[in-house]
Structure 1
Amino acid sequence: MTAVGAPQERAELAPLVTEPERPAPARRSPRRRGRMASWLLYAALAAVTVAFVYPFVWLVSASFKPRSEVFDNKLIPDTFTLDNYVQVWHEAPMALWLLNTVIVTVLATAAVTVSSAMVAWGFSYFRFRGRGPLFGLVLATMMLPGAVTMIPTYLIWNSLGQVGTLTPLWAQNLFGSAFYIFLLRQFFLGLPRELFEAARMDGANQWQVFTRIALPLTRPALVVTALFEFQAAWTDLMRPLIYLRDSSTFTIPRGLKAMLDQFGFGGEWHWEIVVTASVIATVPMIVLFFLGQRHFVEGIATTGSKG
């Protein structure tokens, strides 16, 4: 019995033979994966930046080239010249067009910022019957295409004798803008109402509460509104095409259209003049954005967190 069971016991006591463990596949550390994701993000942002910046860089480069080299698609001119910037002031009244554009843009920006802020304050602070439906009606005006109101608006200004002047280009903003009213209202709603009630208890009237408390607290949103409208008024071409007749009242976009008709498609083919005037018209907007960039970003961030 012992001899027969010995092999079986030895077999049970024998150590089990196991396969050697395979090394686990190497895993990338979270830091390395995060670094790769950052590099991919930077590469994507760089590609998008180049796509947006390249047209303006090409425009600036072409403005320093003679007529024969404008479309050679070289960012570094073979023949560098400043004659285009001298000639453009002789071919067109650029200084007068810039002055008209500044007047229209400043008045339009100030008018729409103040009027929209006042209407937005009324919708956010005061409680009255029908406030919700009335505000919805204001927002509904954003759904109307501009072509729907173009002819009635023209007839109104024509009956007032303002066609051919700069007034129709900015005076419409005296009645506010639905988009800016919505933007500022959302910001006003995020302000603590206790501040206004405390000011009222201290003897401040409604106008003082609005101008001394509400407006300073909404400065970022007001800057965003002003920058948006400044850009819209500076680049507006449709209304100058409709209302302006004399070249002495042209704004920069209307003047560029006249120069394009004359020097681009009018048979003269002076494209160096057209691109140079375009650079002159674009630079002020770029300078303004860099000057107000901090307030612009702050206004966008804080406005998005309100309401």
Structure 2
Amino acid sequence: MSNAKEQIIRVARETILLESNAIQNLAQLVDEEFALATQFILKSEGRVIITGIGKSANIATKIVATLNSTGTPAIFMHAADAIHGDLGTIQENDVVICISKSGNTPEIKVLVPLIKTRGNKLIAITSNRESFLGKQADYVLNAYVEKEACPNNLAPTTSTTAQLVIGDALAMSLLEMRGFSSKDFARFHPGGSLGKQLYMRVSDLTALNEKPMVSPDANVKEVIVEISEKMLGVTAVIEDDKIIGIITDGDLRRMLVSVDNMNGVTARDIMTKDPKLIDNDAMAVKAMELMDQHGITQVLAQENGKYMGVVHIHNLTKEGII
């Protein structure tokens, strides 16, 4: 391995270890003040306004997204924009979280008194409790780090990681206290793959497909036509409105290889008995698990014993469930 590659690996590992050690130390800094700040947000009738400058502003936007997705309404307000007209973002009952490593930047020194004058509660996420921000805040969430991962101790690296972790800790504490469930998560993420896994049902997928079926007495041509027209690579075999078997295009190919004369061959002769079935009201993710467990690409759905249609692996892929 070249010296350059060795140096890259060394620096990368040192960075990761330095930041991981700093994060581990944060756990010891979570105290009663953190709990009081969390409880105040829970009781607040307003939103959480999160502000910062520079890299701290970037972290603020991520924390806002996390809070919004887990049941706590939040808005990002850039500290520089706030003192140039955006202060109206803050409403009467809102709680303001200000993020700053030093807590002494010029924008923060201008913004903090304006927030205090409005009467809003101020929560600081800072590495310096003795800073201007730390002393003015109603609550301080300690994000202290000993040094940045930057060899010059200048580029915000460890400090922004610490800010992000404190924000996650706050969001998860609020989530836990609110009793935020997987169903709640699905309501906030209806278009995402995670949300779909939590709310999409088999019936949502069978409704998208044709409903291939043949009688057990159907001849080979009828079976081939049904599978081809419905374009799902499969057909159910139905008798007295009940599923008695399944025929896949693979079953047809194996039949064609093994049978010299197809005259008189029926669906009953080709079908696989006792196919894998799923309830039409089951979660779609269960269909995925069933397919994965048995190495199949389609599963038949039923409702109260009645055939309802087919779920194909392509449906799950298209909807982002796989």
Please give the range of the TM-score, normalised by the shorter of the 2 chains: under 0.3
- Greater relative contact order (Cα < 8 A, sep 6+): 1
Which of these two proteins has the greater Rg computed from alpha carbons?
Answer: 1
**Greater helix content:** 1
